[in-house]
Amino acid sequence: MPSKAQQNKLHKKNSLLSAALSLLTSNDLQDVSISDITSKAGVAKGTFYLFFKDKYEIRDYLIARESRRILQNAQAELDKNDIRAFDDAIIFMISQILNQLCENPLLLRLIRRNLSWGAFHKQLHSTLEDSDLDVSARFEQHAISAGIYYADPKMVYFMILELTGSVCYTSIVNGIPAPIEVVRPALFDAIRAILASARRIEAA
């Protein structure tokens, strides 16, 4: 395929994704039609079907991509700071995630409880462009550099993400069982407890 056509094609796909993201953060999926997406993206309706099977596919793609972005942002913030204690680093990262979700409750309506897709949704990750950067591997590396050994670090990270995503969603969107400010310290305590109970410190 010539380069120009290829560029054009990629550009259209991105237009569709942007349009869908914008629509799906302000509306429920059942209220967003493919017509809405394509007309907002400025492409023909048929073009949608060159890239996505249906609107569920584009939604799932966006959930994975946006969850991933949130995790990556949090890690980038962590990288900027020099937090040596492992637990503190994780809590800091989760705190960054919470901040993003609180600031962007519309995005949370899209992601719902699927935050962990950002690190664990394999099928979708294969289609994400920058999939070389494996989010969950970072957790493991961090632990190793801190001299901490987890029998199954992916499992620990998964559990923390599921807890965070699920609790945040219910608290921020529904206010159950309390507003997020109230839930936040309890969540941090729980995460610290999970980390501590799963960890074995290696002899250096």
The yes or no reply on residue 193 touching its own copies (CB under 8 A) is yes
- Specify burial of residue 129 (Cβ count, 10 A radius: 0-12, 13-18, 19+): exposed
- Asked whether the beta carbons of 77 and 96 are under 8 A apart, the reply is yes
The yes or no reply on residue 116 touching its own copies (CB under 8 A) is yes
Q: How far apart are CA 176 and CA 173, in angstroms?
A: 8
The yes or no reply on residue 50 touching its own copies (CB under 8 A) is no
Q: Which is nearer to DNA, 38 or 75 (CB)?
A: 38
With CB under 8 A as the contact rule, the residue among 42, 147, 177, 179 that binds its own copies is 177
The yes or no reply on residue 183 touching its own copies (CB under 8 A) is yes
Q: How far apart are CA 29 and CA 59, in angstroms?
A: 8
Residues contributing to the site for DNA (CB under 7 A) = 1-2, 4-5, 8-9, 12, 31, 33-36, 43-50, 53-55
With CB under 8 A as the contact rule, the residue among 57, 103, 134, 152 that binds its own copies is 152
Residue 47 binds what, of its own copies, DNA, none (CB under 5 to 8 Å, by partner type)?
DNA
- Asked whether the beta carbons of 125 and 72 are under 8 A apart, the reply is no
The dihedral region occupied by 176, where left means phi > 0, alpha psi between -120 and 50, and beta the remainder, is beta
Structure tokens at 86: 């492992």
Q: Catalog residues that contact its own copies under the rule CB under 8 A.
A: 30, 113, 116, 120-122, 152, 154-156, 158-159, 162-163, 165-167, 170, 176-178, 182-183, 186-187, 189-190, 192-194, 196-198
